[in-house]
Chains A and B, each alone.
Chain A
Amino acid sequence: MDLSAINPILLVAALMSAATPILLAATGELVVERAGVLNLGVEGMMIIGAICGFAIAVETNSPVFGFLAAAAGGALLSLLFAFLTQITLANQVASGLALTLFGLGLSALLGQSYVGIKPPRMGDINFGPLADIPVVGPILFSHDPVLYLGIALVALVWGILKFSRIGLVLRAVGENHDAAHALGYKVVRIRTMAIMFGGALAGLGGAYISLIRVPQWTEGMTAGVGWIALALVVFASWKPWRVLLGAYLFGGITQLQLNLQGAGVAIPVEYLAMSPYVITIIVLVILSADKSAAPGSLGRTFHASH
């Protein structure tokens, strides 16, 4: 066992990367839930994003196109959920589960011919001399563009929800869909847009795993990250900056347990690999006492006839 092999600076830099898939997916889901919709299909949309991004990146030899395809794939799959819950008024829990089961199967089918291939690499942004600053350089200025996009999206979502008219309407729809409908807002249309945004971000998060974190394609490679992202939204009390904080916390745990595995700590690998899931449960227990922050109409079906 050699704990000195774990470099704290590299650990922090790596945890930002480990946190990005969770961060992207959770930010998307946060918007969906603020609009009053509970989409449990995050895991399914992520894995579809992972394979769409991977396949297109390999075919076009461009990671950028890969990420665009991942967002499109995630959004497309989320449209299925939107159709079920907004048009045919199906139960949101059941529809979300269906989306995850379907997404896992479909991704395995799409990904058959992509097993064992290396995707094109996405380079890190070149910050020039900034990257050479001790400590700060490797932590802040040595990453790929998608990681920064993730952070920017948190800021964007926060700004839009807090300061813009669109954000206000979205929150109104989520807090009380009947009142929002009475005021003349198109509840179904707004929710569908929110669901697609959530799908696109989940797709990006999935592609981040298959194109940057791992980078290769294996079946079921998202391994519960989508579910952790769902838990994270509760953890963050539906607030964007807390999602960032929570994602870094989970990213840190994931990265630390990987580093501990590498350092050969006396704890068996399986028990280290359990830790992110166990910690998610513990955090949920600590934070679930306060439910006041949840959007008022979360998970309820809306139909204008009521």
Chain B
Amino acid sequence: MIRLEKRPQPSRAFSYATPLLAVLATFFFGGLLFAALGKDPIASILTIFWEPLFGEFSFFYRPQLLIKGAPLVLIAIGLSLGFKAGIWNIGAEGQYIMGALFGAGVGLAFYPTESMFIFPAMVLAGAFGGWIWAMIPAVLKVKFGTNEILVSLMLVYVAEQFLASMSLGLLKNPEGFGFPGSRNLQQYPSAHNAELITGSGMHWGVVMALIAVIFAYVLFERHRLGFAIRVTGEAPRAAKFSGVNPSRLVLFCLGTSGMLAGLAGLFEAAGPAGQITIDFNVGYGFTAIIVAFLGRLHPVGIVLAGLLMALTYIGGDIAQSQLGLPAAAIQVFQGMLLFFLLAFDLFTNYRLRFGRTETA
């Protein structure tokens, strides 16, 4: 007879081990999946996780790690604030789109003026775009008690339609020969989020992600607000008695996560992507949910998880071109990771007892 027994204290060891166990289990079952698709499982795993870091062309792929990792970390840090307090913003994808649209919109409005103030203005506009989009579910939750999960998610679809409308209409490149999509911001120096060190992949989004990580770390370790977030997540009633204002917490958590997602969108639009197109968003907002959980909602964990997830994107692309591994297989791989993580998390709070059940 196997029985679950609640631990008096969550196990610290398991709390650290769970992500590693989940990654190992995903390697194993992901390998089985690749084998089922008729690919050599070991070669596939190596192509995804080894090739970008230490392979022949790693000089080309390593910068990609920062480019793909920065938006994931930036968004996931924001999400972790809310997730810790039981406030579920799952519409980061929409906030990412709105940030990109607002930011790029400001930049394009000034075209072709050159000024050092344009890029900072775009950054502010991007942050504002994401923030305002996240404030919709936040205000509705505070004022009317509306479920923020559903509202933030519905707004992703609204934002996607808005993106389509903008890239076919207002923001369309007038010299683009009728092709949908905006002007390329990479060719507009004042608005370009260029690499800070050539060939490193380091752009302003990476800097911002690092700032966000430090900000979140200080918030949770040293600040009263971080404490309020943790208490609200673990014991909402106790939080109320200790003087936490739940409405302000909702506004802060959703607003901040929206702002960071918006910034991620802007840095992407002005940098690596370069332009606003219909399919500008590639799902960072959803993958960031996995990153936040895989990083145990801890700033340092999120950095590691973000880099790992960025690796699956890059390695997935390589595996796609070299081994013909379908892009969707990587998506399944990422989903699997979250499953195993949630399942193994059982052992953080419970332990297995073997033998007969004793009656008290």
**Given A97-B289, A105-B334, A303-B6, is A84 in contact with B342 using a C-beta cutoff of 8 Å?**
yes
| A284 located at the interface, meaning its Cβ lies under 8 Å from any Cβ of chain B in the complex | yes
**Smallest distance from the beta carbon of B164 to chain A beta carbons, Å?**
5
Binds B, one of A4-12, A122-130, A145-153, A268-276: A268-276
Binds A, one of B46-54, B144-152, B190-198: B144-152
Partner of B165, one of A83, A224, A271: A271
Most buried by A among B37, B136, B329, B342: B342
Most buried by B among A102, A105, A271: A105
In the complex the two chains form, is B343's CB within 8 Å of A88's CB? yes
In the complex the two chains form, is B338's CB within 8 Å of A102's CB? yes
In the complex the two chains form, is A84's CB within 8 Å of B339's CB? yes
**Smallest distance from the beta carbon of A222 to chain B beta carbons, Å?**
11
Q: What is the count of residue pairs linking A and B with beta-carbon distances less than 8 angstroms? A: 139
Most buried by B among A102, A112, A230, A268: A102
In the complex, which residues of chain A have a beta carbon less than 8 angstroms from the beta carbon of B28? none
| B109 located at the interface, meaning its Cβ lies under 8 Å from any Cβ of chain A in the complex | no
Binds A, one of B154-162, B259-267, B269-277: B154-162
Report the bound CA distance from A194 to B32 in whole Å.
Answer: 30
Report the bound CA distance from A273 to B168 in whole Å.
Answer: 15
| A40 located at the interface, meaning its Cβ lies under 8 Å from any Cβ of chain B in the complex | yes
Report the bound CA distance from A234 to B342 in whole Å.
Answer: 26
| B350 located at the interface, meaning its Cβ lies under 8 Å from any Cβ of chain A in the complex | yes
**In B307-360, which residues have CB < 8 Å from any A CB?**
326-336, 338-339, 342-346, 349-350
In the complex the two chains form, is A109's CB within 8 Å of B329's CB? yes
In the complex, which residues of chain A have a beta carbon less than 8 angstroms from the beta carbon of B345? 88, 90
**Given A90-B346, A278-B158, is A112 in contact with B335 using a C-beta cutoff of 8 Å?**
no
In the complex the two chains form, is A94's CB within 8 Å of B339's CB? no
**Given A109-B328, A305-B5, is A274 in contact with B339 using a C-beta cutoff of 8 Å?**
no
In the complex, which residues of chain B have a beta carbon less than 8 angstroms from the beta carbon of A108? 326-328, 331
Contact-residue size bin, chain A (C-beta under 8 Å from the other chain): 35 or more
Report the bound CA distance from A277 to B152 in whole Å.
Answer: 11
**In B125-159, which residues have CB < 8 Å from any A CB?**
136, 140, 144-147, 149-151, 153-158
| A101 located at the interface, meaning its Cβ lies under 8 Å from any Cβ of chain B in the complex | yes
**Given A101-B334, A105-B332, is A277 in contact with B154 using a C-beta cutoff of 8 Å?**
yes
Chain B: residues with Cβ within 8 Å of the partner, total of: 51
In the complex, which residues of chain A have a beta carbon less than 8 angstroms from the beta carbon of B344? 88
In the complex the two chains form, is A89's CB within 8 Å of B331's CB? no
**In A184-231, which residues have CB < 8 Å from any B CB?**
219, 223-224, 227-228, 230-231
| B290 located at the interface, meaning its Cβ lies under 8 Å from any Cβ of chain A in the complex | yes
**Given A88-B342, A285-B144, A303-B4, is A101 in contact with B150 using a C-beta cutoff of 8 Å?**
no
In the complex the two chains form, is B335's CB within 8 Å of A101's CB? yes
In the complex, which residues of chain A have a beta carbon less than 8 angstroms from the beta carbon of B151? 281, 284
In the complex the two chains form, is B161's CB within 8 Å of A274's CB? yes
| A165 located at the interface, meaning its Cβ lies under 8 Å from any Cβ of chain B in the complex | no
**Smallest distance from the beta carbon of B170 to chain A beta carbons, Å?**
11
Report the bound CA distance from A289 to B143 in whole Å.
Answer: 9
| A91 located at the interface, meaning its Cβ lies under 8 Å from any Cβ of chain B in the complex | yes
In the complex the two chains form, is B161's CB within 8 Å of A270's CB? yes
16 CB < 8 A contacts A-B: A84-B339, A84-B343, A88-B344, A93-B88, A97-B90, A106-B335, A108-B326, A108-B327, A108-B331, A109-B329, A109-B331, A224-B156, A227-B150, A227-B153, A231-B147, A305-B6
